[in-house]
Structure 1
C-alpha cells in the first residue's frame, strides 16, 4: 500500500512554487498527496475550518512559518500523525529543517529513518453558567486579552482548586514549554525547553509588579474567571481561533491527552535554533 502524505502550505508565492515541485517529486515516487493551503489571516471558526486531516496520512510536511505550523496542528486534531516544519527564510522555532534540504529530509522520512518527540498541548474548556460553550486545544498558548479601550482585566486564577491570585493586568498567557518562545517571551516570560513538563502562566503588563511568570506542573488544572464588571475580553488559542468571554464564564485549562508528534532529525539541535532565532552571540570560555 502506497504512503499517503499531507502537505500544508503557506499562502506565499515562494512556498507555493516549492510545494508544487515537492508534490510532483512525491507523486513521481508513487505516493498520494493531500494538500492544504493556509491563508492569512488565520481561518475563523467555521464548519469548514473544523475538518480534520485524513487518518491515513503517513506524515505531514508544513511549508511556511510558525503560524502555518500551528494551523497544521489544528488540522491534525487529536490524531497522532507525525509532522515536520520546513522553514522558508529565517529560522523558525517550530521548523525542523529548511527548504534547501526538503527532498533530502523527505527521502529519509519516507524510508522510516526518523524519530518523533511528543510535545504537549493544552486542552481548553469554556463553561458559561456551568454549560460548555467551547472546547479547544492549543499547541503554543491560550491568551486572555483585553480590548484596546478596556480597563485592566481582573482575572481570578485557581490551580488545582486552590486560589492563586487575582491578576489585574492587560491579560494573561497560559503557555506550553513549546509556546514559551512565543507571546509569553515577549511579555517577559522565561524560555522553557520543550521537554520540560510544565505549564507557564505569564501576566501581560500586570498592575502589581510582584505578579511574575509562574510555572506549574503539567498535571495541574488551571481555572480562570473574570470579574463580573469585566468587558471586552477575548480568549484566543494559538492566535488561530477566538471567543469573547465575560464574567459569566469559567475557563478550565490543562494538559491535553493528545500530544503533537514532532518529527526530529539527528543533526538538528534545539539550542542551535534558539541561538539563531534570538541572535545570541559570543564565544565559549
Structure 2
C-alpha cells in the first residue's frame, strides 16, 4: 500500500524541533506523571532538559527537589489483588487503573483516626468474572473504621478485611536534586540505594506487616512542598510495595523465642532512572526469613 507523506509538514516539524533558544532558560518546570514520581522516564527527561536548556549559573528547576518517604503497613488482601495488574493484562488484555508493576500497587490512604488507622480508597475487588474492578469505600461508617474492619461490595461479593494500619513512623528515605539530577547509572545499577531505620508504632509488634507504603514530597520553592503523603489532599496516591509471604509475620527480636517485639525495623530503598523500590531489610536485630 502506498503512503502519502506530507513533506511540507515534515520540514515544518523538523524546523520547529531543531530551533535554538536565544539563551538558556532561567526556569524549567517539570511534571509528575504518576503515583511513582519517577515513572515514565521523568528523571532522564529532566536530566536531558537541564543539561541542554537550563542556565548553568542561575537556572532553577520547579520542582527543585524530590524526597521519597515510606512507612511499613498492614493492608487488606485487596491490595495484593490489585498488584496482579500485569497478570490481568497478559490474560485479558486489560488492567486496573493505578497498578504500577507486579508486586506494587497504587493505594489511596486517607486519615480515618488519630491513631493512624487509615481508610483505603479505592479498594480493588475481584468481581468473580476474572477481572478486577475499583470500587470506593468512601461511604464506610465511622463504626467500621473504629472496629478495624472495612467492608467493600463489588458485583455481589464482599471483601471483609482489616483496614490499613501504618505500623511504623514515616521516614525520609532519600532526596534527589532535580536542578542537577544525578548522572545516569551503569546498566543494572541504581542511582541511589541504602537503608533507613523506622520506629514501630505502639502495638505494631502484634500486627502482621504486608507492605511498605511510599510517597513523595516535592519542593516547589523554599518552604513550599507538594506531597502525596496519606495526609495530603492531592490526587496522587501512595505506592504499596508488597512484602513476600515469608516476611508477613509479627516482627520479634532474634533469639527471643518468638515473644519479644522489636522497637524498629530497617527499610531498604533502591532508586533507578524510572522507578523506585522499598523493601524490608534483613538484619540480625529481628527475625525474618
Q: Normalising to structure 2: TM-score of the pair?
A: 0.25
The structure whose Rg is larger is 2
Q: Normalising to structure 1: TM-score of the pair?
A: 0.26
